[in-house]
Homo-oligomer: A and B are copies of this chain.
Amino acid sequence: METNQIFPQGQQLPNEWFTGNAFLTPLVAKDKNNQFSVGCVTFLPNARTVWHTHPKGQVLIVIEGNGFYQEKGKLAQPITKGDVVNIPENTEHWHGATATHKMVHIAITNYEEDVQVTWLQPVLNEDYQKVNEK
């Protein structure tokens, strides 16, 4: 573990939902008080989620590195250490590392009953490359 790293890298996330090498350390599970889960997600360079939606939104808190957050039909936003993204409900989006840097974020993901996320199609390599070329 690097000296500056706060959490262990955790377990690799499935390639069905994450393109490239992404990892999760779970921090808090949903319970009677917390209607959300919390985890730390590490995206190695080139790794990103597939497009997806959250029925009650999600908060991302970037704690290391450089990445992108993009909502469908909008420009990708660069995100870096200290940035917070409050993702609206039912809004198609993806997030991940840049092609050259890792990105680590804490994710607070709300539940609507037992559902947190609906996974959709991958971010195409050509679209991801265009975002990185800008």
Copies per complex? 2
The verdict on A97 contacting chain B, using a C-beta distance below 8 Å, is: no
The verdict on A13 contacting chain B, using a C-beta distance below 8 Å, is: no
* Structural contact, A63 and B28, CB atoms closer than 8 A: no
* Structural contact, B110 and A61, CB atoms closer than 8 A: no
* Structural contact, B110 and A34, CB atoms closer than 8 A: yes
* Structural contact, B38 and A61, CB atoms closer than 8 A: yes
* Structural contact, B4 and A4, CB atoms closer than 8 A: yes
Interface size class of A (residues with CB under 8 A): 20 to 34
Across the interface, which residues of B come within 8 angstroms of A64, CB to CB? Answer: 6
The verdict on A121 contacting chain B, using a C-beta distance below 8 Å, is: no
Given contacts A38-B108, A63-B63, 6 further A-B contacts (CB under 8 A): A6-B63, A27-B61, A33-B89, A34-B86, A34-B110, A106-B106
Chain A residues near B (Cβ < 8 Å): 4, 6-8, 27-28, 31, 33-36, 38, 56-57, 59, 61, 63-64, 81-82, 84, 86, 88-89, 106, 108, 110
Q: Which 3 A-B pairs have the closest CB atoms?
A: A33-B57, A33-B56, A27-B84
